[in-house]
Structure 1
Amino acid sequence: MTRSALRRAPLFLALGLVSAPLWASTPVDQTDPRHAEPRTLDAVEVKATPLPDTAENLARPVEVLSGARLDEAKANSLGETVNKLPGVQSSYFGPGVGRPIVRGFDGARVQVLSDGLGSGDVSTVSADHAVTIEPFLADQIEVLKGPATLLYGSGAIGGAVNVIDGRIPEVEPDEPFQGRAEVRADSVNDGGTGMLRLDGATGNGFVFHFDGLHRETGDYSIPGYAESARQLAEEGETPDPDTHGVLPNSALRTNSAALGLSWVGDAGFLGAGYSLYSTRYGVPGHSHEHEHGEDEHGHEEEHEEEAGHEEDGVRIVMDQRRTEARGGLNDIGPFKSLRAKLARSEYTHTEFEGDVVGTVFDNDSTEGRVELVHQPFGGFDGAFGLQFARRDFLAIGDEAFVPASKSRDAGLFWIGQRQFDALKLELGARHDQNRIDVDDRTAIGPDRDFDTTSLSAALQWDFSEAFHLSLGLDRAQRSPTAEELYSNGVHVATGSVELGAPDLDVETANRAELGLHWHRGPLKLGAALYHVRYDDFIYLADTGVEEHDGPVRLWTQDDARFNGAEAEADWNFAQNDSGSWNARLFGDIVRGELSGSGSREVGFSVPHGDHTHDYSVDLARGGNLPRIAPWRVGGELRWERGPMRASLGAVRYAEQDRVAEFESATPGYTLVDAHLAWHGDTAGGNAWEVFVDGSNLLDKEARPHTSFLKDVAPLPGRGVSFGVRAFF
């Protein structure tokens, strides 16, 4: 047993003891809802909207993961967990970082939520910053595709991902005391994860929740070398055979815990909770070069301290503490319900270069939300909402490329729906005010104020019980973020110089989407076509200039167009003595490009100590946008019989050769995975499940085009995870 495994043994042993009484097996009770396979889209209620409904009945596109499908999909990062949903891929910055990419949009355009409130981290500031939401503790994950600005503001102009974890109970549990636990080990990184969750009620209206998780992994295995063949050829290097098969500096350690308590009655509920999230992870492929200077005799000398940085690379230590309060009232005069949420997050993120602190990010945020669902008015069921947020951001260190700032946001919205026989109409409107106050000592521009307005209309036509057609039209706006406005220096994580543009304007997206859903017996089909026209789209352009041993990238804006399509088919083609057999196929494609022609001249200055280097370059007004996810197609075969279930799947990611200027193409690859699980019940009504999961079974080299690290950090190679889940 390795030393890291020995350190993990106490937690895994404790969780094993919790589940030990469950091993007295009896035949599986298929009526137990814990064993029921939920219909991923049709039957699960979506909670991201104040007007809850099932995914099939919503006119807006949404995907839901829950139950056994969620258990199979759970991974170290949120992005990797939702990666196989149609239209959803993941960013990648090593195993500790993966943010959802929805229809080609990521970063500040996709809002990540913890049960309706922002995660409170700084994952939009930099591609190497992790999301502080633990997918292993999720009950349900909802992905809103297309603009979700009506509900969640300008940061959701490309979509939103809402993680339901139940950390503050809103209803009494089904049993006075219940919970679940999971222990797993992973071969690809010599890693292990242990999780425990408890929910209970005291009988006098009080309900409590507790959860805890510990994960620890080593450097993960890869099929070849960390650097791509293209990169090695460009650098004229021959890789060291000793570096084959392992990605250095890819280890990960995560701890998460939460405690919640609520009073639940007929009139409503009131609850509070406290949670922590702490993680440490390496940034693969990134280290600082030796810095050179001159001694008193004019001879070049190497700083040994920096040499140590190169050997150890960059590591990130992140810690977040979060306090929440939630409450609700039912049936209050003209309103069906009132729901209020408030969260305070204190976040610290330290980047170590070797053993030396390079940059410290502090982010203290407060977010509140009030939703009032009104009685039918004018034939519309609807809800009013008020959302407000405050963020105090501070970056300290020689390589703090984003200045300190204070952001203030407030938004007011209304959404409503009305049924006209076979037609269902959904309408919505929202107005936001955003202000960014920047530290005058470090800023490259003035404070900014923005007003944004978003409008939406969606129509669902039920031709029959089996066939539904939907049409969605949106006008959504997003205000620039502090990093887009004021970045001004070396961004160590991406190995580049990032320069903001303090005169950026609001961007506006106009979207049209046509969707259909058809089901007949065991067969279900779904598809969508969409077009998004952006005015003043904000993007990070490569200038072709190199400074500080890396490319200079400039935040700028121009008009852009996104066109895409996605489809999914689900067929339960056999139900007999051999078991239940199900086949799923899906595919998606998106193309993002600037819609202009010719070029425009842009001037900028790159800081260099106490002076600057001035440049003037021509930026193309047409062509492909950078880091757009490639098209892909995937399939899965599932089998269930009695206590057993199994699946085998594959996803083909195409070569991405529609690249932006100064961007390299990425080869295609195929990832194959498999899952096997065995259920059992105990005489006491508890349950257990033993599972084995395989990933990248063909051991293929995979380099996501969406990753800044694609040429220095491939995805993990072949891996097997195995463990046990307990339900009690």
Structure 2
Amino acid sequence: MVLPLTANAAPQSETTAVSRTIDHDHEPTDLAAVEVHANPLGGSAEDLIRPVEVLAGERLDAAKANSLGETVNKLPGVQSSYFGPGVGRPIIRGFDGARVQVLSNGLASGDVSTVSVDHAVSIEPFLADQIEVLKGPATLLYGSGAIGGAVNVIDGRIPEHVTARPLQGRAELRAGTVNDQRTGMVRLDGTSASGNVVFHLDALHRETGDYDIPGFAESEHAHEEHESHEEPGHEEDHHEEELGVAGVLPNSAVRTDAAALGVSWIGERGFLGAGVSLFNSRYGVPGHAHAEAEHGEHEEPGLDEHLHEDEGHEAHGEGGVRIVMDQRRGEIRGGLDDLGGAFESLRVKLARTEYTHTEFEGEEIGTVFDNASTEARVELVHQPLWGWTGALGLQGSRRDFLAVGAEAFVPGSESSDTGVFWIGERDLGPTRLELGARHDRNRIDVDDAVAIGPDREFDTTSLSAALRWDVSDALHVSFGLDRAQRAPTAEELFSNGLHVATGSIELGNPELDVETANRAEIGLHWHNGPLQIGASLYQVRFDDFVYLADTGIDGEGVPVRAWTQHDARFNGAEAELDWTFIDNASGAWSLRVFGDVVRAELDGNGRRDVAVSVPHGDHSHDYNASLANDGDLPRIAPARLGSELSWTTGQWRASLGAVRYAEQDDVGEHESATPGYTLVDAHLAWHMDTSGGNSWELFVDGNNLLDEEARPHTSFLKDLAPLPGRGVEFGVRAFF
């Protein structure tokens, strides 16, 4: 396990005394002391056993971006998927999609971001108080979908504590040059005169236009491939049609609105609260069509001219694919401490989410995804038993999913999951041992079962052990062993058709079995005054790893990809150094250096034949595909090396950083390599405290200052949509 120096925090109980106040200010946050809500057991940074990363306070403010993946992208071992600026999902140690659970205050986000890579996560990072990243299998706590890790966003929308003041909050306004961004957010928290009723209110609005890029949207590699298929004399026309206008990425505008209201009653021993929230995002999917634009010009901020405002409006785009997603969520949470008897505390959570995702192709509705989910979770922390402090948990969820339209490559389905778990810790001299176990039963009933395959039911069992050895006050060594299992998703089992987002025919396999991951990890953390170092080595061996393989078959002009499974192994390493090398009248000067690498390969020899049935109208064509049993897995995040020089003094703080992404040439069959690139950023902030206890902060952030062409290897759009070019964001924050 890795113990990052400024980002680590120990698992901390959600049973912290409810009388504890919370305060939202600009002061530097000691991340080593921040409570982590993702684990029901108590602890501190000194007690940390499992690898957990935390973003909070000033560091979270500096990292916040339009997507959750981009926000956590600079943590060691964590990168982001990319499907335009509206879509970015966290990738943890090479794992993404259905292997990384995205949570809102410990419950699933309720969106369909695992169904397709062009579907956004329905969590707004600008409204987060804290973001927690659990690296390594988190199946023990959160079930099958967390076999690669979990990201838990804490937003305080249902208050669990009284506030430090009768009324407090924060607000922010920011603008950006690379995409004409305009973002505004406000948050209010307050406590009644009686001290028992606490409320929360937040709102956010963001608009951006198409963003600037260095050069053309289409990569040289893709352009050369297209030219090789062009008729002589048509290459120039193809360049204009496919690459679009240099300097701007058409169809990359985003508009997002989010809001929430929560109220809680808080007593001496517990709390009970409820909240409602909405999330609405409208974004273009770049790469599928190119609008007309003048060189260097932006669209006007906002998407009103392009997207349906409601059913009575028409889209006026140039044929590009645009998405409108809308989510409404209701939650109830409660907690009770000092129970007496065998248990110390109880936490109960219930969420109901209604989600609709509509894809517009020009002026026409292409596909509509509807997802209704209900999830409940109960946690009971028990009294010490035979020296073990532990917690019992019960979790259940149900999802009704329906897709209708041109991109309905996944049939409708009803999924249910029920899991029970126990996790416990005990001290053994200079060591601390953690053990845990979980069992889940998952069932998927598919609407078109007769045509596609039978309904499926899976049982998964996960076991975990972790040990921390305090060699000295300065040196801590940790070991982790896990056996985690994941049930295949409905998308992996029953996909059967053209997936427009990835430009491929995607075929599920109704006979997929449970995949099993066996992980071993060793980590260390050493600190001596202003210098701290953390590092880890890990290996994960999979039995029956499920992945999307390129078959090499061309189906009606697009590649055919099939879900299959084979043994695989992931080997990786992470390291981070944090050194405050000067702390005097000139200010505090700190250097942070981090790096990570992961290699993911199929674990076998030779090749195997797979029968593939490609749909073609009312019929299908049958093929025999030959797949490699060895070699690299596709779309694995490249190695990185990053550094950041920071300075703080009085009212000022500043930083200059750079991250080098290596060339990724360890690629899967039929996959192209991706060139390396370097992203340089800088940040400057000045804050002022007022006599009334409020404060203001002005900030300027520069991103991709070298204006480098950057194409993430993890993106299906890497050859069609590079990352934004040089941009500056600036604004003001208020804390009151």
Establish whether TM, by shorter chain, passes 0.5.
yes
Q: Which residue of 1 aligns with 2:339?
A: 332
SS in 1 for 2:671: coil
Q: Which residue of 2 aligns with 1:269?
A: 271
Matched, 1:199 2:206: no
Structure-2 change in CA distance of 1:360 and 1:262 (3 Å): same
Matched, 1:152 2:142: yes
Q: Matches of residues 143-292 of structure 1 in structure 2 within 5 Å?
A: 143-204=133-194, 205-236=196-227, 237-238=235-236, 239-240=239-240, 243-287=245-289
Q: Counterpart of 2:68?
A: 78
- The residue type paired with residue 235 of structure 1 is H
Give the Cα–Cα distance (whole angstroms) in 2 for the partners of residues 261 and 33 of structure 1.
Answer: 18
In structure 2, the partner of 1:99 is 89
Query: Cα deviations across residues 174-224 of structure 1 (Å, max 9, x unaligned)?
Result: 111100000000100011110000000002200000000000000000001
**Secondary structure, in 3 states, of the residue corresponding to 1:188?**
coil
Deviation at 1:55, TM superposition (A): 4.2
Q: Deviations over 1:577-613 (max 9, x none)?
A: 1101000000000000000000110011111111111
Q: Does 1:687 align with 2:695?
A: yes
Q: What SS does the corresponding residue of 1:68 show, helix, strand or coil?
A: helix
Kindly provide the amino acid, as one letter, of the partner of residue 75 in structure 1.
Answer: A
- Match of 2:8? none
Separation of aligned partners in 2, 1:626 and 1:329: 47
Spell out, residue by residue over 1:107-136, the C-alpha distance to the aligned partner (whole angstroms, 9 max, x if none): 000000001000000000000000000000
Alignment partner of 2:408 out of 385, 396, 400: 400
- CA displacement, residues 431-457 of structure 1 (integer Å, 9 cap, x when unaligned): 000000000377511000000000000
- Between the aligned partners of 1:361 and 1:433, the Cα distance in structure 2 is 25
- Name the structure 1 match of 2:319: 312
Q: Which residue pairs with 1:4 in the alignment?
A: none
- Of the structure 1 ranges 209-218 and 433-442, higher mean CA displacement relative to structure 2 is found in 433-442
- 1:242 shift after superposition: 6.7
Give 1:352 deviation, angstroms.
Answer: 0.6
- The match for 1:527 is 535
> Could you say which residue in structure 2 is the equivalent of 1:701?
709
1:427 and 1:458 in contact (8 A); partners too: yes
Q: Tell whether the 8 Å contact from 2:449 to 2:455 is kept in structure 1 after alignment.
A: no
Residues 242 and 495 of structure 1: CA distance in aligned 2, closer, same or farther (over 3 Å): closer
CA distance in structure 2 between the aligned counterparts of 1:560 and 1:249, rounded to whole angstroms: 37
Q: Are the counterparts in 1 of residues 106 and 152 from structure 2 also a CA contact under 8 Å?
A: yes
Given residue 489 of structure 1, which amino acid in structure 2 is its aligned partner?
Answer: G
Report how far residue 351 of structure 1 moved: 0.6
Cα displacement string for residues 372-412 of structure 1 (whole angstroms, at most 9, x for unaligned residues): 00111110110000000000000001330000000000000
The superposition leaves residues 512-542 of structure 1 with CA deviations (integer Å, 9 ceiling, x where unpaired) of: 0000001000001000000000000000000
Q: Which residue of the partner structure matches residue 660 of structure 1?
A: 668
1:603-642 matched pairs, under 5 angstroms: 603-642=611-650
Alignment of 1:711-722 (within 5 A): 711-722=719-730
Residues 403, 442 of structure 1: 8 Å contact kept: no
What's 1:422 paired with?
430
Alignment of 1:198-597 (within 5 A): 198-204=188-194, 205-236=196-227, 237-238=235-236, 239-240=239-240, 243-287=245-289, 311-333=318-340, 334-440=342-448, 443-597=451-605
Q: Secondary structure at the match of 1:232?
A: helix
The change in CA–CA distance for 1:55 and 1:664 in structure 2 (over 3 A counts) is farther
Give the letter aligned to residue 232 of structure 1.
Answer: H
Q: 2:127 aligns with which of 116, 137, 146?
A: 137
Change (3 A) 1:442 1:676: farther
- Find 1:673's aligned residue among 660, 668, 681: 681
**1:54 CA drift (Å):** 3.1
Q: How far did 1:309 drift?
A: 10
Q: Provide the secondary structure at the position in 2 that maps to 1:312.
A: coil
Distance 1:632 1:233 in 2: 28
CA contact (8 A) 2:24 2:735 kept: no
Name the count of aligned residue pairs.
678
- 1-structure distance, mates of 2:387, 2:120: 44
Cα shift at 1:225: 0.3
Post-superposition CA distance 1:458-477 (Å, at most 9, x none):
00000111110000000000
AA of the residue aligned to 1:319: D
Runs of 4+ aligned structure 1 residues displaced above 2 Å come to 32-36, 52-57, 237-242, 308-312, 440-443
The residue type equivalent to 2:49 in the other structure is A
Supply the AA of the counterpart residue of 1:621.
N
Give 5+ residue unaligned stretches, structure 2.
1-22, 228-234, 292-314
Q: Secondary structure at the match of 1:243?
A: coil
**Structure 1 residues 620, 288: closer, same or farther in 2, change over 3 A?**
farther
Cα distance in 1, alignment partners of residues 631 and 535 from structure 2: 27
Which AA in structure 1 matches 2:593?
Answer: L
Q: Which moved more, 1:348-357 or 1:44-53?
A: 44-53
Percent of aligned pairs with the same amino acid: 73
Find the counterpart in structure 2 of residue 301 from structure 1. Answer: none
Distance 2:384 2:193 in 1: 35
Equivalent residue, structure 2, for 1:115:
105
- Kindly provide the amino acid, as one letter, of the partner of residue 223 in structure 1: P
Amino acid aligned to 1:265: G
Give the superposed CA RMSD.
1.5
- Structure 2 CA distance for partners of 1:442 and 1:165, relative to 1, 3 Å: farther
- CA 1:566–1:636: 2 relative to 1, 3 Å: same
Instruction: Check if 1:87 corresponds to 2:77.
Output: yes
Hey, what does 1:38 align to over in structure 2?
29
Equivalence map 1:60-79=2 (5 Å): 60-79=50-69
